[in-house]
Structure 1
Amino acid sequence: MASYSLFQAFRQPIILRSMAWFFLAHVTVPNLSTVMFYYQSEFLNLEASFLGTARVVGWLGLMLGTFIYNQYLKKMKLRRILMWAHVGLSFLSLLDIVLVARSNVAFGISDKIMVLCGSALSDAINQFKFMPFLVLSGLLCPPGIEGTLFALFMSINNFGSTVGSFVGAGLASILNISSGSFDNLLLGISIQVLCNFIPIALLFLIPKEATGIST
């Protein structure tokens, strides 16, 4: 039966550990995107139309990330790709620190440029994480239940993303960060930067020899 095959497949350490990493990569890094949206719209007074444009630029970043991955990263070990992806996300969080600290103004860089670059680059780097996720799920799926197991993988990934949003909301609540109250936002982003290194410490869960080419 498909359900029994799915259960047996999911019990395999290589599958269970890999999915555990992708889940933990979400839940160990607080998602402060909602707070940043309020900061950009209320404190920086960026128009809704511009923030919508930033999302379009983010989608372009997704396509750029897919192209770069397919052209240059397919033969690289997944552990290395995922490690550098989280290092890159930490760097982009530093850009948020620059934005919130208003340091960009001192260098004559507009808030819009910072937001546009941050949106495009973060989506591109997140694609570097998602593409290995797709490859690894295809690599680990036993014959006959590929679609079922892939759907389960995606559900776990999406659930982890949702939990990460709750973790971000909890951090914002603890630090009293909310709409109209951004005094501790700099501290919240600093915590987010540090948390981006937690998934790197857990990369032993990813198969050591796995690359971006499904075999």
Structure 2
Amino acid sequence: MGENANVTVTAETKTKTLLSLLTEPVEWLRMLSSQLNPTFVIGVFLIYGLGQGLSGSLFKVVADYYWKDVQKLQPSTVQLYVGVYFIPWVLKPLWGILTDTFPIRGYHRRPYFVISGVIGAVSAATVALTGNLAAAAALMCFLGVSASLAIADVTIDACIARNSIEVRELAPDLQSLCGFCSGTGALIGYLASGFFVHRLGPQESLGLLALCPTLTTVLGFVIYENRTSGSHIETKQAVLVSVGTTIRSMFKTIRYPQVWKPSLFMFLSLALNVTTHEGHFYWYTDSKAGPAFSQEFVGVIYAIGAVASLIGVLIYHKVLKDYAFRDLVFYAQLFYGISGVLDLIFILRWNLVIGIPDYIFVVIEESATRITGKIRWMPMMVLSTQLCPLGIEGTFFALLMCIDSTGALLSRWGGGLLLRLLHITRTDFTNLWLAVLIRDMLRFAILALVFLVPRTGQYEELLPSDTPENYPSYEVPEENLELVPISSKIEV
């Protein structure tokens, strides 16, 4: 009888544990929805999940095959082209100023959602439906897709920044929400990308990129926003004053050591982390020098990376969000550099010498890189939200993301230049190992810059206490998008 009772208790305990694991994400989302507005959570799912996650991952794989198989470009040229995609993200402060201070027919947010959706849908449809498109024209279409994602991203980022300031204890949770949404969307996108490339071809698959911009356009028509009132002259004068005040406030804030030091680290950590992705991609699919992975398996590799990114977000959310910024960034960067050594082992084919097949080793390599990369980046995103003063949080967060995007742009162009200098082509991968070695050495060199990151905890206020008093809080009706905390006592 006693043994049966113990077995029953054990079974009940396991059942409760399993149920708690299943219900914990639901309770977490319910908590966020109660502390913040549910519409905000839906907006994050749309922009980060479907936009940056699903569309971004599909765009990455399909565009690689498009440049390789349709346009037949060299990997160094493609690497430079990929850098051009980041130009709209570099211009995020411009999009932020436009949406903050230039209303269209009395609306600050709705028109820009619609504009970004139309640009993305038209660009994706053009490159998908137009045969024999010149490389320069295709690049402009891809630039339009990227601009669509960047403009839509600015609005939701502004809301994230404000919520992170007003409900400071939820700042890490908001970044976890963004990470889970983008990671889940990326997982689906990567799993589907190889299938669509194989079945439809790279050019036709690009038509799928019109899905998210279409939904963004719908969001622009249905999202709640009050229409501003006032004469045209009064509005124009207010716009000029607010733009000038915003620019002066941005320059004032960026001069604080608490702000420019971590901003400089984020820029350098991205710029020095030169990427050799296109060289890897061409080598992955080469039947002579490389492992000759199929289109479907390339998608699976990236999907595994998306799962690893989700694991990285989960590790950060459960274990690491209470650690100080500097300590966490140092060790994350260290392990990120170590994970890069696996790339070198794979390129040199030493994995075959020790008896590990290519398809197993690439899973290990991709997982290690994505987990450490995500853990490395999550605290920097939390830090970025904590650096934004109230009143200009949307535009200033866009400025910080502009700095990051400029670093990422230089990373890709630097990688493209490295591939060209080492004469890595569509068929010659002799010096690819050297490119990877140089990249890994730069990753370890970034450790010397960690002193720029503050030692403070992730819940502590970084800006001087008098900073918000110096900046205007734009009290205009259109900011009430139901994307700010319900419990907030600060009028927006």
Q: What is the TM-score when the length of structure 2 is the normalising length?
A: 0.42
- 1:172-205 CA-partner distances (Å, limit 9, x unpaired): 1121122211111111111111111221101111
Match for residue 262 of structure 2? 18
On the 8 A contact 2:339/2:372 being kept in 1, the answer is: no
Alignment partner of 1:211 is 2:211: no
Residue identity in the other structure for 1:84: Y
Alignment of 1:39-54 (within 5 A): 39-42=283-286, 43-54=290-301
Residue ranges of structure 2 left out of the alignment (5+ in a row): 1-244, 462-492
Establish whether residue 73 from structure 1 lines up as the match of residue 320 from structure 2.
yes
Q: What is the one-letter code of the residue matched to 1:36?
A: H
Written as runs of structure 1 = structure 2, the 5 A alignment for 1:27-106 is 27-42=271-286, 43-106=290-353
Is the Cα–Cα contact under 8 Å of residues 332 and 375 in structure 2 kept in the other structure?
yes
Matched-pair contact (CA < 8 Å) for 1:176–1:184: yes
C-alpha deviation, 1:120, in angstroms: 2.3
Letter matched to residue 3 of structure 1? I
1:157 counterpart = 2:404: yes
- CA 1:213/1:118 → structure 2, altered by over 3 Å: closer, same or farther? farther
Question: Match for 1:134: what amino acid?
Answer: M
Please tell me the root mean square deviation across aligned C-alpha atoms, in Å.
Answer: 1.5
Report the Cα offset of residue 45 of structure 1: 0.4
Q: Distance in 2 between matches of 1:37 and 1:50?
A: 12
List per-residue Cα deviations over 1:21-62 (Å, max 9, x = no partner).
111011112211111111111121001111111111111111
Matched, 1:2 2:246: yes
Aligned twin of 1:197: 444
CA apart distance, 1:149: 1.2
Aligned to 2:414: 167
Say which structure, 1 or 2, has more relative contact order (CA 8 Å, 6+ apart). Answer: 1
Match of 2:228 in 1: none
Alignment length, in residue pairs? 214
Paired amino acid for 1:41: T
Structure 1 counterpart SS, 2:340: helix
Deviation at 1:214, TM superposition (A): 4.9
Is the CA contact 1:54–1:120 (under 8 Å) kept in the aligned structure 2? no
What is the CA–CA distance in structure 1 between the aligned matches of 2:417 and 2:253, rounded to whole Å?
34
Question: Which has the higher Rg, Structure 1 or Structure 2?
Answer: 2
